[in-house]
Structure 1
Amino acid sequence: MLAFISRNIITGLVAILPVLLTLYLLYWFAVSAESLLGGLIQALLPDHWYWPGMGLAAGLLVVFITGLLMNAYLVQRLFAKGEQLFYHTPLIKSVYRAIRDFFDYFSPTTKKEFQQVVAVTIGDTDMQVIGFVTQAEPAKLPKDFREDDCIIVYLPLSYMIGGYAVLIPRSRVRPLDMKIEEAMRFTLTAGITGTPPAEQKKKQPHAKQE
């Protein structure tokens, strides 16, 4: 009985926590933006000009403008210079680097670099791991890596921030019919999430034909 109750509690937490954490982050952003920027707007504008929610709107505008500016090379260079302060500060550098790597892993810019989800065969065994092709053009590889018919594949680690970038012959790689987001989620959770229902439905007709 106790095992039954514990199992269902854990199942409920797994289902609810992602939703609650997402809603909490949105709530935190809304409250923080309204508190900080709303107070600034109230100080600059007459009282009868201020409306509740202007702080949140200003926060979204700041984030949007920041995203636009980050597309400029000069802003990217200045931002990179500023980040060096965090990367060279004891204690802070470890925390900041972990947070930066986590968000870079899921950023739209990083996803564009992943050209294809693939299965990589390990050695002479039948064992395979999921990876992402990050560089398939020999001319863009380091000079010593420009071997014939080789590509760079990123192999992420489950439940961890990080992975390995390995040089692999194309013959050891098999393309997978998975979206980048699905493959990332599948890999990071060590396959616990399983194949999305939409993908299962797509594969069912093929399975019957075989």
Structure 2
Amino acid sequence: MNRIGSLFLKGLVVTIPVAMTIAIVWWFAATAERVLGGLLTEILPGGWYVPGMGLASAVGLVLLVGVLSHVLFFQKLFFWSEAWLNRLPLIKTIYTAIKDFIGYFSPEQQGQLSKVVLVTLPGQRYQCLGFVTREAFDDLPLPLAVDDAVAVYLPMSYQIGGYTLYLPRECITAVDISFEEGMRLAITGGVTRRPASPTPPAGMVSGTPEDS
């Protein structure tokens, strides 16, 4: 029974992420087809609508929003809309949490947090995983009490918050992992594991067949 339970749990570990990914993609496609597809059916002449146009319209709409986010007028419009949402107590909490979580995986954020480090606080032996966000402060009026300071963001597990510490460079140690892997480690509390390297088949040495 223990063996069966162990196999079942391993099956869940493999199945759940795949199932959730498929469910999210399916929900996005179904919603796009239902909402935008229905709108296109009403707008287009009879017989012009082809299944899949709603999904294509949704993808195009998201790309359009990405393009408009670089236009100053629409940047101000997005800012005003966000400021209005931040005035609503419950909506503010949900919106901010979702925005912060998704924002970690944006190209701009990955560029800013590309350096993954381990932080060792003075006088302590434990270490925290963090991301360097700034290494120069000449343009900021911050009276930092340390020399050669760096700003390091320490996210909490499961993205319930985080702290930004201004530390001397000697307190950090660079870690040779990608931003995505570092963020997975931080958000999941270290539960995630690096995939093991595949074992070469018998008769293979360093990818070269052994001589017969």
TM-score range relative to shorter protein: 0.7 to 0.9
Matched, 1:69 2:68: yes
Q: Which runs of 4+ in 1 moved over 4 A?
A: none
Instruction: Please state how far the C-alpha of 1:56 moved relative to its aligned partner.
Output: 0.8
| Partner residue, 1:26 | 25
Q: Which amino acid aligns with 1:127?
A: Y
In 2, the alpha carbon distance for the partners of 1:72 and 1:178 equals 34
In 2, the alpha carbon distance for the partners of 1:195 and 1:51 equals 43
In 1, the alpha carbon distance for the partners of 2:3 and 2:162 equals 37
Matched, 1:178 2:177: yes
Instruction: Please state how far the C-alpha of 1:141 moved relative to its aligned partner.
Output: 3.9
- The higher radius of gyration belongs to 2
In 1, the alpha carbon distance for the partners of 2:18 and 2:139 equals 41
Instruction: Please state how far the C-alpha of 1:128 moved relative to its aligned partner.
Output: 1.4
TM-score of the pair, normalised by structure 2? 0.85
Evaluate the alpha carbon distance shift between residue 8 and residue 33 of structure 1 in structure 2; reply closer, same or farther with a 3 A threshold. Answer: same
Evaluate the alpha carbon distance shift between residue 90 and residue 190 of structure 1 in structure 2; reply closer, same or farther with a 3 A threshold. Answer: closer
| Unaligned ranges ≥5, structure 1 | 199-210
| Unaligned ranges ≥5, structure 2 | 198-212
Q: Which amino acid aligns with 1:88?
A: R
Instruction: Please state how far the C-alpha of 1:146 moved relative to its aligned partner.
Output: 7.5
Contact 2:146–2:167 at 8 Å: present in 1 too? no
Alignment of 1:98-177 (within 5 A): 98-145=97-144, 147-177=146-176
Aligned-partner SS, 1:100: helix
The RMSD of aligned alpha carbons is 1.8
Aligned-partner SS, 1:91: helix
In 2, the alpha carbon distance for the partners of 1:78 and 1:145 equals 35
Aligned-partner SS, 2:61: helix
Instruction: Please state how far the C-alpha of 1:125 moved relative to its aligned partner.
Output: 2.7
Judging by fraction of residues, say which structure has more helix: 1
Q: Which amino acid aligns with 1:27?
A: W
Instruction: Please state how far the C-alpha of 1:4 moved relative to its aligned partner.
Output: 4.2
In 1, the alpha carbon distance for the partners of 2:139 and 2:19 equals 43
TM-score of the pair, normalised by structure 1? 0.86
Aligned-partner SS, 1:132: strand
Instruction: Please state how far the C-alpha of 1:179 moved relative to its aligned partner.
Output: 0.5
Contact 1:138–1:146 at 8 Å: present in 2 too? no
In 2, the alpha carbon distance for the partners of 1:83 and 1:146 equals 35
Identity of aligned residues (%): 41
Aligned-partner SS, 1:106: coil
